[in-house]
């Protein structure tokens, strides 16, 4: 079934929204005010999904995105919108979510990314039949790629190199991560003997003999401000390095000038935030469930010559307790947000300040609503960590009533 439709607005994923006989239809790669010919590809009781067959009227805010995989891959779902309008869309999305799910009226600033292409320091490539690429959105269908506009150019160089001189047929996944100079590659295969990590370096290890054998073989070093961080293939680390510095500077601003006695850094990963604010605190305790990340965090503590921070390996909800008595808690949870047990414990501990870093405004709004018995939202700032996608990072400051 084909229809000619006008796009009324965008949903939270950046898809165009129109209606057919009163039923909502979601249309990727369509923008507000455009008139498009659409083929319906999915029809349920509550909604439809469609794809654009022809553009009849094109928005002046539409741009040409020079990626040959754009209409197949699905990774860059709003790259057809000019960057100023992308930022406006993300801000409005968060405003709408907070109003709907937290009953809060907000007007946050959004910090734009210095780079809106070639910003990603990490990529995971899937491999099938000696071809590497990304899975098409919501499928297991491989889209072979040779070059991705979102990736740091160093990663694209390595991908090109692999294509020319390496048989990848035995692997099912390749993870690449770069600090701009070195590249960490992790190869995953059904044959465990082929699973390996390789650090490709342009120059000698700057840490020399002080680096542990584990870090030398399994990690690369990132510089954020005055701090250095060793990161492995299994560790969480933000994908947009330049924006991460701006985000962490905002966290420091929220910590404030008054010295913090004890701070908890929950879901601390490689210790990035805890270390970044360590000079503002007398004591920092980081909690992280991933063993590889904790190994890196302890190394990063030594690397930065910091003696007022400790790291605990374990699940946040089972580690934190009232006896820790922190003045400040910083959380940077996965997309699923905080679990009910962790929220309950935070309410019991009642630190004066809570700083919440989130990559998912839906779970962020939910958690802020659940914390509202004890905490007010004092401030929120958005960071465009993921240009050309619908995702956005948020940093919130919550204060005890």
- 359 assigned to active site: yes
Choose the catalytic residue: 296, 374, 393, 396: 393
Q: Rounded to an integer, what distance in angstroms lies between the CA atom of residue 60 and that of residue 85?
A: 11
Q: Would you say 362 and 94 are in contact if contact means Cβ atoms under 8 Å apart? A: no
**4 forms bridges with which residues in the sheet?**
37
Which H or E run includes 80?
none
Q: Would you say 29 and 58 are in contact if contact means Cβ atoms under 8 Å apart? A: no
Q: How many CB atoms sit inside 10 A of residue 316's CB?
A: 22
Close Cβ partners of 56 (under 8 Å, ≥ 6 residues apart): 4, 35, 36, 37
Hey, what are 128's tokens?
């099938």
**HSE, side-chain direction, 13 A CA sphere, residue 133:** 20
Q: Would you say 34 and 6 are in contact if contact means Cβ atoms under 8 Å apart? A: yes
Q: Rounded to an integer, what distance in angstroms lies between the CA atom of residue 81 and that of residue 58?
A: 11
Choose the catalytic residue: 34, 359, 381, 396: 359
Q: Rounded to an integer, what distance in angstroms lies between the CA atom of residue 124 and that of residue 301?
A: 28
In degrees, rounded to 5, the angle at the alpha carbon of residue 369 between the alpha carbons of residues 393 and 246 is 20
Q: What are residue 272's phi and psi, to 5 degrees? A: -60, -55
Q: How many CB atoms sit inside 10 A of residue 367's CB?
A: 26
Q: Write down the residue that tokens 């992280």 correspond to.
A: 288
Q: Report, as residue numbers or ranges, the catalytic residues.
A: 359, 393
């Amino acid at each position: 079934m084909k229809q000619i439709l006008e796009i009324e607005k965008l949903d939270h994923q950046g898809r165009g929204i129109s209606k057919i006989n009163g039923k909502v239809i979601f249309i990727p790669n369509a923008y507000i005010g455009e008139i498009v010919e659409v083929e319906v590809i999915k029809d349920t009781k509550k909604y439809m999904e469609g794809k654009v067959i022809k553009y009849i009227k094109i928005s002046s805010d539409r741009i040409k995105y020079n990626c040959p995989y754009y209409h197949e891959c699905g990774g860059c779902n709003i790259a057809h919108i000019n960057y100023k309008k992308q930022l406006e869309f993300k801000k409005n999305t968060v405003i709408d979510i907070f109003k709907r799910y937290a009953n809060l009226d907000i007007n946050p600033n959004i910090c734009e990314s210095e780079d809106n292409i070639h910003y990603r320091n990490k990529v995971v490539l899937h491999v099938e039949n000696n071809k590497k690429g990304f899975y098409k959105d919501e499928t297991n269908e491989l889209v072979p790629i040779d070059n991705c506009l979102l990736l740091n150019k160093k990663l694209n160089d390595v991908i090109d190199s692999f294509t020319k001189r390496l048989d990848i047929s035995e692997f099912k996944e390749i993870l690449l991560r770069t600090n701009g100079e070195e590249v960490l590659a992790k190869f995953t295969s059904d044959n465990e003997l082929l699973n390996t990590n390789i650090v490709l370096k342009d120059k000698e290890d700057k840490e020399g003999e002080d680096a542990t054998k584990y870090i030398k073989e399994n990690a690369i070093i990132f510089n954020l401000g005055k701090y250095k961080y060793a990161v492995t293939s299994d560790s969480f680390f933000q994908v947009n390095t330049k924006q991460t510095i701006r985000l962490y500077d905002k966290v420091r601003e929220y910590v404030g000038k008054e010295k913090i006695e004890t701070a908890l850094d929950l879901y601390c990963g490689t210790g990035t935030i805890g270390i970044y604010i360590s000079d503002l605190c007398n004591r920092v305790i980081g909690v992280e469930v991933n063993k590889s990340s904790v190994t890196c965090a302890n190394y990063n503590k030594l690397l930065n010559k910091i003696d007022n921070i400790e790291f605990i390996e374990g699940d946040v909800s089972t580690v934190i307790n009232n006896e820790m008595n922190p003045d400040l808690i910083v959380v940077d949870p996965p997309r699923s947000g905080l679990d009910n047990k962790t929220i309950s414990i935070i309410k019991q501990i009642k630190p004066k300040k809570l700083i919440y870093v989130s990559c998912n405004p839906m779970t962020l709004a939910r958690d802020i609503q659940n914390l509202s018995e004890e905490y007010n939202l004092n401030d929120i700032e958005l960071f465009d960590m993921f240009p050309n996608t619908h995702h956005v990072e948020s940093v919130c400051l919550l204060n005890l009533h």
